[in-house]
Amino acid sequence: MSIIYNCRHCGHTIGKLEQKVIDASMLGFDQLSKKEKQEMIQYASNGDIQINTICENCEQALGQHPNYHELDFFIQ
């Protein structure tokens, strides 16, 4: 099983963890609200978990262009 972190804006894979057993509290999932979990975490049929987050480049772009926060995707 893998935990794959992808940028929700540009789709870049930020990182990947290979784990047989996952402790959700160690990853901070227990700190997320139900809505945040629904928006950020997706479970694949093969057991992989995809986490939608933001990469450094997109974070920097959001800082320089605050109006981008209104958009779900700003990089095509």
Confidence check: pLDDT of 74 > 70: no
Give, rounded to a whole angstrom, the gap between the first and last alpha carbons of the chain.
29
Q: Write out the two tokens for 54.
A: 């933001």
Mean pLDDT, the chain, integer:
85
User: What is the phi/psi pair of residue 49, to 5°?
Assistant: -120, 125
Cβ–Cβ < 8 Å for 17, 2: yes
Question: What is the arithmetic mean of pLDDT over 31-47?
Answer: 91
What is the mean pLDDT of the segment spanning 54-62? 89
pLDDT of residue 27: 81
Q: Do 9 and 60 touch, CB atoms closer than 8 A?
A: no
Which tokens in the block code for residue 52? 């939608």
Q: Using alpha carbons only, how large is the chain's radius of gyration in Å?
A: 14
| Confidence band of 52 (pLDDT split at 50, 70, 90) | very high
Local confidence band at 73 (pLDDT 50, 70, 90 cut-offs): low
Q: What is the mean pLDDT of residues 61-72?
A: 77
Tokens of 53: 């987050």
